[in-house]
Amino acid sequence: MSSVLVTGGAGFIGSHLVDRLLEEGLHPIVVDNLSSGDVKNLNPGALFYQQSVQDSEMMERVFQLHKPEYVFHLAAQSSVAVSTKDPIMDCETNIKGMLVLLEKSVKYGVKKFIFSSTGGAMYGDKIEIIPTPENLDPHPVSPYGISKYCAEMYLQFYHRENNINYIILRYGNVYGPRQDPNGEAGVVAIFSKRMLNGEDVNIFGDGNCIRDYVYVKDVVEANIKALQCDAVGTYNIGTGHGTNVNDLFAALSRITNYQKEPIYTAPRKGDVRKSILDCSKANQELGWKPKVSLQEGLVMTVEYFKGL
Ligand SMILES: NC(=O)c1ccc[n+]([C@@H]2O[C@H](COP(=O)([O-])OP(=O)(O)OC[C@H]3O[C@@H](n4cnc5c(N)ncnc54)[C@H](O)[C@@H]3O)[C@@H](O)[C@H]2O)c1
């Protein structure tokens, strides 16, 4: 049976991916330093190493011992807001971490490298085409978007020089159970928890920022398709539909029966105004499309937070 490395497997998306890989009969090996992840998320069926992907010596041991055939690289500093406050940490995690993994992947003959990148923070604000396809030139406006783009370019360099097969998945705004409601990213988780607790909810800016919200199980399915396909390339993973924060607030208010008005505060640095992803390439080449509607996904997410 294939051995599969999942970096960031104790995080929000990574932990759902680990569950699914185990269901598929694969053997996920998780590397996570728990900087934003939580062992509570982690399926006990996975082998777990608490360490940083930036630590070359420690990663060497993991590769030597397990010789993973596939790498899902999700470990990251994953918040736009944090990246604007600490771009050096963002760079070290998202760029150096990528390089360490690529070096090991080449040395140990990894068959395919599947990278979790961003669609939401990749294309920037001056976008001529919405929904945006992958072939538009990236113009990231945050250190997070820049580091993810840089990591993508390193991956393509290793593909050219070392023939490493890869899939880059550029996600929209992923939401669902296990997303951290106390972090700086993850508006659905933050709103859901605060609404269920009857607390005030802040909206940054005027609430007209538009995002493409995609449910976590659909994102996991895209990773599985990426594992199974023969393609090499970059794919947007979203829904092709945009929702503004005011409408998201209204939808979650209805589901949680929240009665308060939002509190509008200053916009945040690095946030783009509008992001909607054209996902037709993933549909055509990976056979992937999202199955969960925003309403269904929000209901499932609120149910999860009710049970905590
Ligand atoms: N959630 C989204 O909306 C979204 C959108 C686009 C892209 N992504 C990308 O998807 C991936 C997963 O995101 P998520 O939402 O699950 O975030 P998350 O913060 O829940 O998961 C990231 C995981 O990586 C771990 N980690 C961080 N630095 C590490 C390091 N140096 N070494 C080892 N582990 C480390 C964290 O502890 C955490 O468990 C990230 O690469 C993120 O950039 C997420």
Mutate to test the pocket of ligand 1, among 32, 78, 93, 174 (most ligand atoms within 8 A of CB): 78
Active site residue 144: yes
User: What one-letter code names the amino acid at 215?
Assistant: Y
User: Tokens 């771009």 map to which residue?
Assistant: 87
Give the integer Cα–Cα distance in Å for 129 and 136: 8
Q: Is the CB of 147 under 6 A from ligand 1?
A: no
Q: Is the CB of 33 under 6 A from ligand 1?
A: yes
1 confidence band (pLDDT: 50, 70, 90)? low
pLDDT at 184 over 80: no
Closest atom, ligand 1, to C-alpha of 144:
43
Q: Is the CB of 145 under 6 A from ligand 1?
A: no
* Residue 272 pLDDT: 87
Per-residue pLDDT tens digits for 79-113: 999 999 999 999 999 999 999 999 999 999 999 99
Per-residue pLDDT tens digits for 20-35: 999 999 999 999 999 9
Closest atom, ligand 1, to C-alpha of 73:
41
Give the integer Cα–Cα distance in Å for 121 and 138: 9
Which residue, 236, 28, 254, is CA-closest to 136? 236
Per-residue pLDDT tens digits for 116-134: 999 999 999 888 899 999 9
Cα of 8 to ligand 1 centre, how many Å?
6
Report all structural domains of the chain as residue ranges with CATH numbers, in order of start: 3-175+210-241+274-298 (3.40.50.720)
Residue 70's alpha-carbon distances to 109, 124, 276, 290, 302, in angstroms, are 9, 31, 29, 24, 33
